Amino acid sequence: MPLQVLLQVQDVTMRFGGLTAVDRVSFAAAQGQITALIGPNGAGKTTLFNCITGFYRPSEGAILLHPPQRGPGAAPVALHRLAGHRIARAGVARTFQNIRLFPGMTALENLLVAQHNALMATTGWGIGAVLGLSRYPAAERAAVEKAKQWLHATQLLERADDPAGALPYGAQRRLEIARAMCTSPDGPALLCLDEPAAGLNPRESEELARLLLAIREAGTSILLIEHDMGVVMRISDRVVVLDHGQRIADAAPAEVRADPKVIAAYLGEEEVA
């Protein structure tokens, strides 16, 4: 089966004043795959992530999304030109390295906020909903069902009414993934995870890997920044390696593991010619 490209990163450069954090990086993430983005600390992974998810506007280059529902011939969405909040609507959801839940809201509320755009569309600019004259109640029931489904998938159903800030760390990580998955009606086209396994114990990492594989089976492609090489090597279909803002490898996990340049970057040796 030929792989269809979902996300295309073309010569993206990101400069902060004199510092070039990302230097002409190109890679492609394929539809239905888990693509991992790895590299030593300060390699520019999170900066690239922020460019893809619209938190930074790249200094140069293009980021194109080919949403699968648009069909193969359709024009891609230029993510680098979209306003921050439109990127989620285009089908790119993300989580954060330092968890960014709404701590004072319950787990269920967190998942309902994620469905804001779909729900807002049914309220008639909010006026109809205040007067009780809209399709809103039915839409809210559907949204709660969807939230329950994701709470179940992340084993958080019993804690649905607990404030997100009171959940254990691992549960907060799972809830953030569930929240990202609720942003599009049929699940986002691309889920960007920034170090989802950070701070998890081995059993939780194992559960996370299973959850990510299940998400991939459900049709959402994943772009993953991760330091836990066990998780990366087990679940990734492709690995892109960054070092000092440049792409130094882009291959299958086994190949990357044997690549001398990658080993040099990680162990800090002189680069092998």
Residues that bind another protein (CB under 8 A): 53-55, 84-89, 93-94, 96, 100-106, 108-109, 112-117, 119-120, 123, 126, 129-130, 136, 140, 144, 148, 160-163, 165-166, 179-180, 183
Question: What residue type is assigned to position 217 of the chain?
Answer: E
Degrees to nearest 5, angle at CA 251 with 256 and 79: 125
Are 106 and 157 in contact by the 8 Å Cβ rule? The answer is: no
Compute the least distance from the CB of residue 221 to another protein, in Å: 17
Which residue number, 147 or 209, has a Cβ lying nearer to another protein? 147
Which DSSP category does 80 fall into?
Answer: G
Please state, as a whole number, how many other Cβ atoms lie within 10 Å of the Cβ of residue 265. Answer: 22
| Residue with Cβ nearer another protein (89 or 244) | 89
Give the nearer residue to another protein in terms of CB position, either 68 or 163: 163
Minimum distance of another protein from residue 2's CB (angstroms) = 31
Angle at which helices 169-181 and 107-114 pack, to 10 degrees? 30
Of 118, 108, 68, 60, nearest to 88 by C-alpha is 118
Neighbour-count burial for 106-131, b at 16+ CB within 10 Å, e otherwise = bbbbbbbebbeebbeebbeeeeebee
Least distance to another protein, CB of residue 192, Å = 9
- Shortest distance, position 179 Cβ to another protein, whole Å: 7
Between 24 and 116, CB nearer to another protein = 116
Integer Cα distance of 141 and 149 in angstroms: 12
CB-nearer residue toward another protein: 103 or 260: 103
- Least separation in angstroms between CB 147 and another protein: 9
Q: CB-wise, 113 or 153, nearer to another protein?
A: 113
Please state the closest distance from residue 122 (CB atom) to another protein, in A.
9
